[in-house]
C-alpha cells in the first residue's frame, strides 16, 4: 500500500537505513495488488516523502554514437525514414510525417527541393492495402541551421513531409504506408490506432516522457514505455539534446562549461536525424504529441529559434485556433490537453494567454471531463535545478488555469521525478491541480539530485530567472511555514513525493472522476511501480469559474 498521510517521512539527509529497509519491501510496498491497495488524492494531502538517490544505478548517461545501427540511415534514395504519427485536434484526423533524402552539413550546402518528391500516404482499415485504400497528399519543407561565423558548419535537412488524414473512424486500427509512389519510394506498411471518440466514457492509455535525449538510458526508458503499450505518448520537451554538440559533432555534458567561448550556441543537427531514426520504432505506430523545451531553442542566424522543432513535428495548431507551433490543444477521448509554451510570451497581454482564454471557453466538461495542462518548465519544483525559474509564467497563468478547473499538470525540465499534493499559489488546496514533474527520460545531462530546501542549497534569487524568457517574479513566500524565505527549510508541504531516477509515466483515466497515475523507474521491471495514485476529480466541490476573455 502507498504511504499514508502522516505515517512516514524519508529524507535524503536522514532516516537512510529506514529507507533501505522500505525499499527492500518492494519499494515501500507500492506495487499494487488491486485497486483497493492504491491511495487517492482524497486521502491527502500527504506528508512529504523523499527517496534517497540510488547511487549504484545512475552511471553515466552515454549517448548513442553515430555508427550505432539503431541511428544509421538504412533506406535508399528517397525512401521514407523517421516516420511519425501525431494527432490532430480530434479523433477523426491524424498527421503522418517522415523525412526523405540525406541531410547536408558543412560549409557549402545546397538544400534539396521539397517539390521534387511527393508527399503521399496510402491508408486503409484492411491490412493488404489492396482494397478500400484511400490516399492523402500533404506538403513538404526543408529547414536549415545557419551560422554567421567562420568555422561553424551549416546544416540543411532532408525533405520533411507532413500529411493530414481526415474522416477517420474512432478507436480504429489503420494500415498505412507513406512516400512517393510515382518514383517507387514507399515505406513498409505500418499501423496506428485512432483515439476514442470524445466523450466521458472513453479514454486512451497515455505514456509520458520528458527530457529524453538519445542515451543508453533513453533506450531503457523507451523500451519500458513500449512494453506498457500506451495508445498515445506525450513528449514534454527536450527531445534530442542536439544543442549539447558543436557543429563538428563534439559533445559535452555541460555546454556552458565546455563551449563558453563560442560566438553562438552551436547545435549539431544530425542528432535530430539519429533521434528520429531510433524513435521510429515507437512513433510510426503510436501517436506522439510534443511541446518545446529549452533544448529546442537552438539559436542561429538572425536570432531564429526552434527551427528544427517547428519543422519536424506536426502540430494541430491551426485546428485548435493557435497561430504558433509553441502552444496548441487537442482532445484524446474524454481528455482535453492544453499544450502550453514555456518559451513563448505568456503574460496576460500575449497571444498565447488570449488564445488560452478562448480555448478554455470552448471546453465542454460534459464531453471532456478531464482538463490536463502540459508544458516543459515546472512551477512547483523543489530541486535546486531550475528552482523558481518560471515564476513569471506561474504568476501570469495559474489563476486562469485554477478557475478553469485544470485537474493535472505535467512538466519536464528537472531531471528527476516529483509529484505534488493539490496546490494553488503554494498553498494546499483541494481544488488545485496535481503537478507532476517527469523530466527523467534519460538524457545526457546530469540527474537532478540536490533539493533547494537542504542546508546551503537555496539559490541566490537573482540567478533563478530563465535566461531565454527573462523577467523576475520569484519573491519570498508571503505566508505559510516558509513565510519571508526564498526556500523552505525542509521538503515543502506541497511536495508529496520526489525521487532522483530515470523513468516514464502512464496516465489512465478510468471514468469521469478517477484517473490512475503510475510512475515506472528504469531500474525496475517494466510492470513494477515506483509511485502510484488515483487522482480524483470533485466537480461539485470545485466548480469551474467562468470569465470573459479578451477577443
**What's the grid cell of residue 93?**
484526423
| Mean pLDDT across 121-134 | 89
Grid cell 513528449 is found at: 235
Q: What is the pLDDT of residue 7?
A: 32
Q: Residue 425 maps to which CATH number? A: 3.60.21.10
Q: Is 354 exposed, middle or buried (0-12, 13-18, 19+ CB in 10 A)?
A: middle
Q: What phi, psi does 104 have (nearest 5°)?
A: -130, 140
Tens-place pLDDT, residues 221-256: 999 999 999 999 999 999 999 999 999 998 877 777
Tens-place pLDDT, residues 251-271: 877 777 777 777 788 999 999
User: Is position 433 within any domain?
Assistant: yes
Contacts of 518 (CB under 8 A, 6+ apart): 505, 506, 507, 508, 529, 531, 532
**What's the grid cell of residue 443?**
538524457
Q: How far apart are alpha carbons 92 and 467 in whole angstroms?
A: 40
| Mean pLDDT across 34-51 | 88
| Mean pLDDT across 328-357 | 98
Grid cell 544530425 is found at: 270
Which sign, positive or negative, has the C-alpha torsion 130, 131, 136, 137? positive
User: Would residue 504 show up in a list of annotated catalytic residues for this protein?
Assistant: no
User: Is position 549 within any domain?
Assistant: no
The residues facing 504 across adjacent strands are: 520
User: Is position 16 within any domain?
Assistant: no
Q: How far apart are alpha carbons 359 and 341 in whole angstroms?
A: 14
Give the pLDDT band of residue 57 (cuts 50, 70, 90): low
Tens-place pLDDT, residues 299-322: 999 999 999 999 999 999 999 999
Grid cell 471532456 is found at: 368
Q: How far apart are alpha carbons 119 and 137 in whole angstroms?
A: 6
Contacts of 384 (CB under 8 A, 6+ apart): 448, 450, 451, 452, 457, 459
Q: What is the pLDDT of residue 550?
A: 46
Q: How far apart are alpha carbons 268 and 308 in whole angstroms?
A: 11
User: Is position 64 within any domain?
Assistant: no
Tens-place pLDDT, residues 472-521: 999 999 988 899 999 999 999 999 999 999 999 999 999 999 999 999 99
Q: What is the pLDDT of residue 263?
A: 79
Q: What is the pLDDT of residue 8?
A: 34
What count of other Cβ atoms lies within 10 Å of the Cβ of residue 250?
12
User: Is position 36 within any domain?
Assistant: no
Q: How far apart are alpha carbons 467 and 392 in whole angstroms?
A: 12
Instruction: Please report the DSSP string for 112-134 in residue order.
Output: --GGGS--EEEEESSTTSSSS-E
If one counts the domains in the chain, the total is: 1
Q: What is the pLDDT of residue 551?
A: 47
Q: How far apart are alpha carbons 182 and 385 in whole angstroms?
A: 52
Domain range for 525: 75-536
User: Is position 54 within any domain?
Assistant: no
- Provide the terminal-to-terminal Cα distance of the chain, rounded to the nearest Å: 49
Q: Cα dist. 210→233, 270, 380, 387, 531 in Å? A: 10, 21, 16, 17, 17
3-state secondary structure of 362: helix
User: Is position 438 within any domain?
Assistant: yes
Q: How far apart are alpha carbons 163 and 279 in whole angstroms?
A: 19
CA atoms within 13 A on the CB side of 183: 14
Alpha helices in 126-232 (DSSP H): 216-227
Are 141 and 101 within 8 A, CB to CB? Answer: no
Q: pLDDT at residue 534 above 50? A: yes
Q: How far apart are alpha carbons 24 and 235 in whole angstroms?
A: 32
Closest listed residue to residue 355, CA positions, set 331, 338, 337: 338
Q: How far apart are alpha carbons 276 and 154 in whole angstroms?
A: 20
3-state secondary structure of 242: helix
User: Is position 231 within any domain?
Assistant: yes
Cα of 13 vs its chain's centroid, Å: 30
Q: Cα dist. 137→119, 157, 166, 236 in Å? A: 6, 21, 11, 29
Give the pLDDT band of residue 31 (cuts 50, 70, 90): very low
**What's the grid cell of residue 450?**
540536490
3-state helix, strand, coil in the chain (%, to 5): 20, 25, 55
Q: Give the DSSP H or E segment for 256.
A: helix 255-258
Are 38 and 534 within 8 A, CB to CB? Answer: yes
Annotated active-site residue in 162, 386, 413, 520: 386
Q: pLDDT at residue 27 above 70? A: no
Q: What phi, psi does 465 have (nearest 5°)?
A: -65, 145
Q: How far apart are alpha carbons 492 and 382 in whole angstroms?
A: 7
Amino acid at each position: 500500500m502507498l504511504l499514508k498521510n502522516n505515517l512516514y517521512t524519508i529524507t535524503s539527509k536522514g532516516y537512510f537505513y529506514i529507507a533501505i529497509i522500505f525499499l527492500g519491501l518492494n519499494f515501500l510496498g507500492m506495487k499494487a495488488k488491486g485497486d483497493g491497495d492504491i491511495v487517492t488524492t482524497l486521502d491527502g494531502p500527504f506528508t512529504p516523502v523523499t527517496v534517497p538517490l540510488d547511487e549504484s544505478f545512475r552511471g553515466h548517461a552515454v549517448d548513442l554514437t553515430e555508427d550505432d545501427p539503431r541511428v544509421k540511415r538504412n533506406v535508399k534514395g528517397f525512401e521514407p525514414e523517421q516516420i511519425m504519427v501525431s494527432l490532430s485536434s480530434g479523433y477523426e484526423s491524424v498527421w503522418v510525417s517522415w523525412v526523405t533524402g540525406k541531410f547536408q552539413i558543412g560549409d557549402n550546402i545546397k538544400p534539396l527541393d521539397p517539390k521534387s518528391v511527393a508527399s503521399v500516404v496510402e491508408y486503409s482499415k484492411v491490412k493488404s492495402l489492396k482494397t478500400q485504400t484511400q490516399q492523402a497528399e500533404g506538403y513538404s519543407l526543408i529547414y536549415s541551421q545557419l551560422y554567421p561565423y567562420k568555422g561553424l558548419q551549416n546544416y540543411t535537412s532532408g525533405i520533411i513531409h507532413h500529411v493530414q488524414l481526415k474522416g477517420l473512424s474512432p478507436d480504429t486500427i489503420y494500415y498505412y504506408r507513406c512516400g512517393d509512389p510515382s518514383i517507387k519510394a514507399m515505406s513498409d506498411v505500418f499501423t496506428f490506432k485512432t483515439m476514442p471518440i470524445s466523450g466521458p466514457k472513453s479514454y486512451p492509455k497515455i505514456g509520458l516522457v520528458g527530457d529524453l535525449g538519445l542515451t543508453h538510458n533513453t533506450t531503457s526508458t523507451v523500451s519500458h514505455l513500449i512494453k506498457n503499450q500506451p495508445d498515445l505518448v506525450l513528449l514534454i520537451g527536450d527531445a534530442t539534446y542536439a544543442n549539447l554538440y558543436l557543429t563538428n559533432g563534439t559533445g559535452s555534458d555541460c555546454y556552458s562549461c565546455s563551449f563558453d567561448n563560442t560566438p553562438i550556441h552551436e547545435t549539431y543537427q544530425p542528432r535530430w536525424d539519429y533521434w528520429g531514426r531510433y524513435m521510429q520504432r515507437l512513433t510510426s505506430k503510436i501517436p506522439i504529441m510534443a511541446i518545446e523545451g529549452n533544448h529546442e531553442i537552438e539559436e542561429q542566424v538572425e536570432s531564429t529559434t526552434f527551427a528544427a522543432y517547428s519543422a519536424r513535428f506536426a502540430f494541430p495548431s491551426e485546428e485548435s485556433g493557435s497561430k504558433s507551433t509553441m502552444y496548441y490543444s487537442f482532445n484524446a477521448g474524454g481528455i482535453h490537453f492544453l499544450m502550453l509554451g514555456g518559451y513563448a510570451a505568456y503574460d496576460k497581454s500575449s497571444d498565447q494567454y488570449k488564445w488560452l482564454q478562448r480555448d478554455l471557453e470552448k471546453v465542454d466538461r460534459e464531453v471532456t471531463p478531464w482538463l490536463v495542462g502540459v508544458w516543459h518548465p515546472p512551477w512547483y519544483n523543489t530541486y535546486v535545478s531550475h528552482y523558481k525559474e518560471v515564476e513569471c509564467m506561474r504568476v501570469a497563468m495559474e489563476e486562469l488555469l485554477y478557475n478553469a478547473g485544470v485537474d493535472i499538470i505535467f512538466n519536464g525540465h528537472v531531471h528527476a521525478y516529483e509529484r505534488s499534493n493539490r496546490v494553488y499559489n503554494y498553498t494546499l488546496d483541494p481544488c488545485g491541480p496535481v503537478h507532476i514533474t517527469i523530466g527523467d527520460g534519460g538524457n545526457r545531462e546530469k540527474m537532478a539530485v540536490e533539493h533547494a530546501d537542504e542546508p546551503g542549497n537555496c539559490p541566490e534569487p537573482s540567478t533563478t530567472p530563465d535566461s531565454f524568457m527573462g523577467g523576475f517574479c520569484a519573491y519570498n513566500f508571503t505566508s505559510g511555514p516558509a513565510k519571508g524565505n526564498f526556500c523552505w527549510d525542509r521538503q515543502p508541504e506541497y511536495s508529496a513525493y520526489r525521487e532522483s531516477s530515470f523513468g516514464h509515466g502512464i496516465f489512465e483515466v478510468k471514468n469521469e472522476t478517477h484517473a490512475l497515475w503510475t510512475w515506472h523507474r528504469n531500474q525496475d521491471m517494466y510492470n513494477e511501480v515506483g509511485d502510484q495514485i488515483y487522482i480524483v476529480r470533485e466537480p461539485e466541490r470545485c466548480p469551474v469559474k467562468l470569465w470573459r476573455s479578451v477577443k
